[in-house]
Amino acid sequence: MSNPISQRAGPRCRALVAAAVATFALSAAAADFASSPHVTLRLSSSAPPGMEDSKALVDTAEYLKKATNGTVVLQPFFSSALFDEIAGMGAVQSGLVDMAVACTCNMTKQTDAYLFADVPYLWREMDNGRAVWNGPIGQGIKTELTQKLGMIPLAYTPSGGGYRILWNTRHPIKVPADVQGIKIRTTATPIEQEFWKGLGAVPTPVDVKEIYSALQQGLVDAEHLQPVWLTLLKHDEVVKYGTEIRALAVYRVLMISQKSYDKMDAAQKQAFAAAMKVYEDKGYEYNRALRETAMAQVAKRGIPVYEPKGAEMKLWEDYGAKFMASDVVRKSVNQATLEAAIKAQRP
């Protein structure tokens, strides 16, 4: 039934009522945190401010401050201002900082639980990360790290604008046979090195800070890198060709120490959980947007990016399946986890 008083009320009266309701809501929100502790969470990140997870963290910090009436302040430090990526996670574990962000591939000093995520051709689509990280696999990792290390994984976001692209300075690459003899920059990770070695390439470990000069001087001919990182590091000034082989996607994990998490009371933890959902959603959103920007810059540079299709793409995928079943993967990666991650991505 309609309210006759409401029907007779003019715009000014309704505005006064709305203002009163809003004031009450704000007062109620403030009251929810009136007895809450004031908590500042210092966060270490190696990523520069313009990366997707950094932009998402800025949005999340603003959301969290409002959601907790200023009682929880998230204070991110970017560009390795506190620690580099590997040291940052160690600092969370030791209590030197409250939170940190790192690529799952850089978590090997703490755990081997993330090794499966670096197996080529595991990730069928970028958004499939949610099905894995937010499902039983992610929950199992969370339980393990919380109990063993006192560290809580909070959220996962894709990094660098989607799949890594195979960039090179020599010639167009369409099929796996075209990689033969190419000197490709790799990390020291055995899985990555063996993947390229199996294609007839020459894996060459090079520190990320030295890749530009290595490409320029011909010490390496190629690299496998996400497009946002390519443009950010200005490697688009030296590479000449790109190929979308869709072999590897990179995810970053946001971690908090158990002790820091427990500084918050129940109401703050509830708001914090909502903030982590904001962080994840924003991370995916920025990842897509930054990819478009980076690829536009690559196109402006005149760098062709080839997309294998049909029989050509099947050659890459077939090699990926063969590599996934190889001894190097079986000896390094928990097979049950790998199979569960594949299954979680099926429609």
Alpha-helix runs per DSSP H in the chain: 4-8, 11-32, 52-67, 85-94, 129-133, 136-149, 190-197, 211-217, 227-232, 258-261, 266-300, 311-324, 327-332, 335-344
What pLDDT score does 31 carry?
A: 52
Mean of pLDDT values over 322-334: 94
User: At residue 2, what is the residue type?
Assistant: S
Mean of pLDDT values over 40-65: 96
Confidence of residue 277 (pLDDT cuts 50, 70, 90): very high
**Which residue has 């760098």 as its token pair?**
303
pLDDT one-digit tens code per residue, 118-149: 999 999 998 899 999 999 999 999 999 999 99
Q: Which residue has the higher pLDDT, 88 or 207?
A: 88
* pLDDT(108) > 70: yes
**Considering the chain, what is the average pLDDT of its residues?**
91
What pLDDT score does 13 carry?
A: 43
Tell me whether the CATH fold assigned to 36-158+250-291 matches the one assigned to 165-249+302-344.
yes
* pLDDT(6) > 80: no
Confidence of residue 25 (pLDDT cuts 50, 70, 90): very low
Residue closest to 224 by CA, chosen among 252, 183, 261? 183
What pLDDT score does 3 carry?
A: 40
What pLDDT score does 1 carry?
A: 41
What pLDDT score does 32 carry?
A: 84
Mean of pLDDT values over 211-222: 97
| Domain limits, the chain | 36-158+250-291, 165-249+302-344
d(CA 135, CA 152): 15
d(CA 121, CA 107): 20
pLDDT one-digit tens code per residue, 263-275: 999 999 999 999 9
Pick from 188-192, 219-223, 286-290, 337-341: least confident: 188-192
Q: For residue 43, what is the enclosing H or E element?
A: strand 39-44
What pLDDT score does 259 carry?
A: 98
* pLDDT(22) > 60: no
* pLDDT(47) > 50: yes
Pick from 15-29, 175-189, 253-267: least confident: 15-29
Handedness of CA 110, 116, 117, 118 (dihedral sign): positive
- Structural contact between residues 177 and 198, judged by C-beta atoms closer than 8 angstroms: no
Would you list the DSSP string of 108-152?
Answer: TTT-STTGGGGSTT--SSGGGHHHHHTSHHHHHHHHHHHHHHSEE
Confidence of residue 347 (pLDDT cuts 50, 70, 90): confident
What pLDDT score does 29 carry?
A: 53
Cα–Cα distance list, 114 to 41, 52, 264 (Å): 25, 21, 28
- CATH architecture of residue range(s) 36-158+250-291: 3-Layer(aba) Sandwich (3.40)
* pLDDT(19) > 80: no
State residue 95 phi and psi, 5-degree precision: 95, 10
Percent of the chain with pLDDT over 70: 91
Mean of pLDDT values over 38-45: 98
pTM metric for this prediction: 0.87
What pLDDT score does 154 carry?
A: 98
Pick from 102-111, 166-175, 280-289: least confident: 102-111
**How buried is 95 (Cβ within 10 angstroms: 0-12 exposed, 13-18 middle, 19+ buried)?**
exposed
Domain 165-249+302-344 has CATH 3.40.640.10: no
What pLDDT score does 93 carry?
A: 96
**Spatial CB neighbours of 285, under 8 Å, sequence gap ≥ 6:** 56
* pLDDT(52) > 50: yes
| Residues facing residue 41 across a β-bridge | 74
* pLDDT(12) > 80: no
